[in-house]
Amino acid sequence: MAHSSRSNPLETALQSAQKAFLALSQCNGSDRNRGVRAMAKGLASHFDQILEANTLDLEMSREMAISPCLLDWLKLTPERLENTVELLEQLAELPDPIQRVMNAPYQLNPSQTYCQLMPLGVVALIYEAFPELGAIAAGFCLKTGNSLILRGCGTASHSNTMMTQILRQSLEEVGLPAGCIEWISSDDVPVIQDLIIQDKHINLIIPYGRTSLVEQVAQQSVVPVLKAALGNCYLYWSAKSDLELVRWMILDSHASDPDPVNAIEKVLLSPSQNGALLARLFNSLQEKGFELRGDEALCEEFPNYLTLAKDSEWSRAYLAKIIAFRTMPSLTEAITWINQHSSGHADCIATESYQESRQFAMEIDSALVYINASPRFSRNPKQGESLFLGISNQKGHRRGLIGLETFTTLKQVVQGNGRS
């Protein structure tokens, strides 16, 4: 019996992505920028089709009793699509990062040694819901000369398929290979492990979604993984800080809709914190629709506001409008607690003490530390030349904000003159 070329969708996608990456190496920055602009234009002219496909996904998900969290992540709006188009347009305007020359950390005399930023190769994004995230990742990859393999979840199949078709067609219209973006459905590759063992073809995998997905990929993959973290960020509220600052930091951190990347979900309190101020904060948060939890002592003191948080919750992201409070004996012990239990990508302190802020900044083992500032995450911060896909909480490859340079690698060049 003859087999079609689609008998192995994964192998076909891998080969196509590799071929496209090689083709991209022959393109300059202007060619790649033209492709990013074409993707933005393609999405902008097909909002109705994308939203119709998304409606089908939402109807199917509700019938399957998908969690409210995933439904929020899945539901596209014109605003979310407009933000995606705007981000792609801004990506196209940024300086070309590829082959940027930098000083080498050492020199090999008598030769001249320097470094260049180069593409990684084939990147795979494994993600839950967030249909627009595939388009954003495609922009980052094309801008940096990489090809992209997308593997979304079944709940977003119609949205992902529609958006990928639009992106691929847009690239072909400007003379770039459609294989720059390959889509693998959960029907074609139902087991994620089949994808994450393809170390001969894939150079980096980025898992994006709930902690369970990210950890599964990180533990099973033989391909280098860049973990993107969501939620479970801590705030230490010093007695040397005012209520309004803390209230603003918490509320603003939860405003990074739809994905709560840096949402403050745990608050550690100084032992001398004013009880009246706590009651005012609890009341304000409840009025904003937050569910509040606390340790045993706080629950006894504020039974009208708090329910008891289980031990396991302090290390787990809620990814919802839930905040747990706990009193710590000292800042030093609070730092130890945060280093043991937070997700390690973004943690905060509210204090008017310079000494406390310095101790927190130096001793917190997280990728990002916020001092009297909201940790709210934005892919398009509106300031400077930086755009971000997410935040990584791991040490090693590109810890912290996932920007354009995350999709590059260094090549060190030793330029000699033919003589010793």
User: Mean pLDDT over all residues of the chain?
Assistant: 93
**Token pair for 185:** 């459905």
Does 6 or 242 have the greater pLDDT score?
242
- What average pLDDT does the segment 380-407 reach? 86
Residue 339 corresponds to which tokens in the numbers above? 């280093």
Do 113 and 35 belong together in one domain? yes
How far is the C-alpha of 298 from the C-alpha of 309, rounded, in Å?
10
Q: Under 8 Å CB-to-CB from 58, ≥6 apart: which residues?
A: 71, 74, 75
* Structural domain includes residue 420: no
Rounded (10°) CA dihedral 295, 301, 305, 308: 30
Residue 420: predicted pLDDT: 59
Say if 379 falls within a structural domain.
Answer: no
Both structure tokens of 145: 């000369």
Q: Which token pair is 127?
A: 């993600």
Domain membership flag for residue 384: no
**247 belongs to a structural domain:** yes
Q: Is the peptide bond before 190 cis (omega within 30 degrees of 0)?
A: no
Give CA angle at 153 (147, 156), nearest 5°.
95
Question: Six-digit token pair at 116?
Answer: 């260049």
Q: What's the confidence (pLDDT) of residue 118?
A: 95
Report the C-alpha gap between 166 and 169 in whole angstroms.
5
Report the CATH number that the domain containing residue 328 is assigned in CATH: 3.40.309.10
Domain-located, residue 187: yes
Q: What is the mean pLDDT of residues 307-328?
A: 97
Nearest C-alpha neighbor of 123 from the set 228, 19, 259, 21: 21
Q: State the pLDDT at residue 395.
A: 84
Classified as helix, coil or strand, 103 is: strand
Q: State whether 32 and 133 are in the same domain.
A: yes
Predicted confidence band of residue 419 (pLDDT cuts 50, 70, 90): low
The angle at the Cα of 220, spanning 71 to 185, to the nearest 5 degrees, equals 45
* Contact criterion met (CB below 8 Å) for 235 and 267: yes
For residues 419 and 33, which has the higher predicted lDDT (pLDDT)?
A: 33
Cα 156 → chain centroid: 18
3-state secondary structure 36-48: HHHHHHHHHCCHH
* Claim to verify: residue 281 and residue 358 sit in the same structural domain: yes
Q: Is residue 339 part of a domain?
A: yes
Looking at the fold, whether 142 and 253 belong to one and the same domain comes out as no
CA angle, residues 296, 299, 300, in degrees to nearest 5: 90
- Cα–Cα distance for residue pair 281/251, rounded to 1 Å: 11
**Residue 297 sits in the same domain as residue 195:** no
Q: Which of 289, 392, 397 is nearest to 68 (CA)?
A: 289
Cβ atoms 118, 408 nearer than 8 A: yes
Give domain status of residue 383, yes or no: no
Amino acid 361: pLDDT:
98
What does residue 234 show for φ and ψ, rounded to 5 degrees? Answer: -105, 150
Total domain count, the chain: 2
pLDDT digits (tens, 9 = 90+) for 333-389: 999 999 999 999 999 999 999 999 999 999 999 999 999 999 999 998 776 568 999
| 4 pLDDT above the threshold of 70 | no
Q: How far apart are CA 217 and CA 7, in angstroms?
A: 25
Same domain, 250 and 221: no
Expressed as residue numbers, the domain containing 178 is 9-228+389-415
Pairing label, strands 181-183, 147-151: parallel
